A and B are shown apart, each in its own frame.
Chain A
Amino acid sequence: MDPRIYGLETEYGITCTLKGQRRLTPDEVARYLFRSVVQWGRSSNVFLENGGRLYLDVGSHPEFATPECDSIVEACRYEKAGELILNDLVRNAEGRMRDEGIRGTIHLFKNNTDSAGNSYGCHENFLTRRANEPVDYEAQFIPFLVSRQLTSGAGKIVMTGRGPVYCLSQRAEHIWEGVSSATTRSRPIINTRDEPHADADTYRRLHVIVGDSNMADDSNVLKVGTAAIVLRMLEDASFAMRDITLESPIRAIREISLDTTGRRPVRLASGREMSALDIQSFFLDHAEEFAATRGLTEEETRVLDLWRVTLARIQNGGAGLETSLDWAIKQHVINAFAERHSLPLDAPEVLALDLQYHDIDPERGVHNLLRQRGAVTSTIEVGDVVGAKDHAPAGTRAHLRGEFLRNAREAGRDVTVDWVHLKINDQAQRTVACKDPFRSEDDRVDKLIAALRA
């Protein structure tokens, strides 16, 4: 099996309130949040010693992009470390606000929607071979991605003509196209911006922007992992699957989101109908066959096991999902809360819970609270998240970047880096281009680091 590079980019929602009232605009809070970053990085767009990138994105959304990871679980570990990194900024900013006499609490939400219908995303990046043209497989990939919310949707109460409904996905309502180059105007499922940050003759980037941001490890691992497995099958021209192109992916994604049982049928281009559960089971069955005949990596095999168990639970009515998957964990607690206080789903208190589930604060955030109380389990452990805050992945180019940045800091030297380049800002302007994201050792970088320390 060819190794693959994975990366996740997560945008966070931000607010600062006092007794429910907004204290600062998102722009103002973001400035407080990034002031310490700007102080040491002279910019609100910096690379960290863990190899990841922290920046203030369009619309004042703090964003963390993981470093290049060579496994599914590693990508999920660094994605989770992003929460800790952002939470450190929150603590820091609240302290500074207090010093300036501004009262209020900063909330950072790892969700995908606000109350006014704006959306912000969690983008997945898969490094693929240049020879594998997405146009050859995207019509078949889209039904998978559209139904994937059944395992990795983050759940949301949505107001419909027939009252409030608990839906699978935060993003479903905000996706308007199958494949395109747009991001903010008209969001597609797959974005065609091909930025491999690597030798473009050999590699391309597949950029999936339809997914929800996940709090739960199982949802996150399934989101990235099942996509990776399906991608393996689609990239293998010798592996045949029946074509299940959807008639309208955009209608299907909304219809599927409205039904947490996964049973509602959606139309295929052929005129046939399949439910989200049918579609996911279709890809799972093929993945089992692929594993048996072509093989999968050890990690992909563990994802396959979790995928099988998860779909079986959905098939059997959902018992067991309430500790594993984001949408089900949140639904379980929302229903218990609404019942306890005799509230309808559209009561402000319930909507606040729907939002505060995603608060990244370790104590105040409801997902984190549930996790601490043992009400959330991770079937596949993502590993040392705290360690991932400060240390880069050992097996990819991120290791070189992390070492370069650490040495520059220790030596007090001024440097500039991006995904590919490492540069010393002195008269000689020495620069090394690292075009192979799989390479974690490089003599040229060793020499550059030696020059830093000289």
Chain B
Amino acid sequence: MQERAKKHASGGREDEQVDAPAAPSGTSDRIKAELDDILDEIDGVLEENAEEFVKNYVQKGGE
């Protein structure tokens, strides 16, 4: 949720986001690095043709 607040505050522009995590404690740096690694992995598993993939995900109703 902090991420979200940050994004709103910066208008989502990349140059300002670099400044955003300005509280440089060892822990938050580590968490940020871990999140970066995870995001790299997520980039690797996401469907390459996302638009088609999402649009074509149609089921019949269940229950």
Contact = CB atoms under 8 A, between A and B. Distances in A.
* A and B: bona fide binding partners: yes
Interface of A: 11, 13-15, 17, 19-22, 26, 57-61, 109, 114-116, 118-121, 166, 183-184, 187, 209, 260, 317-319, 321-322, 328, 331-333, 335-340, 342, 344, 348-349, 351-353, 355-356, 363-364, 366, 369-370, 373-375
A213 to B, nearest CB: 11
A195 to B, nearest CB: 14
17 contacts: A17-B47, A19-B52, A57-B63, A58-B61, A59-B61, A114-B57, A115-B55, A118-B62, A119-B61, A121-B62, A321-B1, A339-B7, A349-B46, A351-B50, A352-B50, A356-B45, A366-B45
A284 B14 CA distance: 42
Nearest to A22: B56
A337 B40 CA distance: 10
Interface string B1-25: 1111011000011100100000000
A118 B54 contact: no
B1 A339 contact: no
A338 B7 contact: yes
Contacts of A21: 49, 52, 56
Interface residues of B, number: 36
Max chain A CB contacts within 10 Å: which of B17, B39, B55, B60? B60
B33 to A, nearest CB: 12
B27 interface: no
A349 B47 CA distance: 8
Contacts of B55: 115, 348
A317 B4 CA distance: 12
A328 B2 CA distance: 11
Given A14-B59, A209-B63, A318 B1 contact: yes
A342 B12 contact: yes
Contacts of A17: 47, 53, 56
A364 B45 contact: yes
Contacts, number: 150
A20 B50 contact: yes
Contacts of A120: 59, 61-63
Contacts of A15: 56-57
Contacts of A340: 39
A266 B23 CA distance: 37
A333 B62 contact: no
Contact of B57 (A13, A318, A366): A13
Contact of A356 (B12, B47, B63): B47
B39 to A, nearest CB: 6
Given A57-B62, A352-B53, A369 B3 contact: no
Nearest to A314: B1
Contacts of B34: 373-375
Contacts of B61: 58-59, 118-120, 184
B63 to A, nearest CB: 4
B63 A58 contact: yes
Max chain A CB contacts within 10 Å: which of B6, B38, B39? B38
Nearest to A9: B63
Contacts of A61: 59-60, 62
Given A319-B2, A349-B46, A352-B46, A335 B63 contact: no
A139 to B, nearest CB: 24
A54 B7 CA distance: 44
A337 B62 contact: no
B54 A373 contact: no
Contacts of B63: 11, 57-59, 119-121, 183-184, 187, 209
A72 B21 CA distance: 40
B50 A348 contact: yes
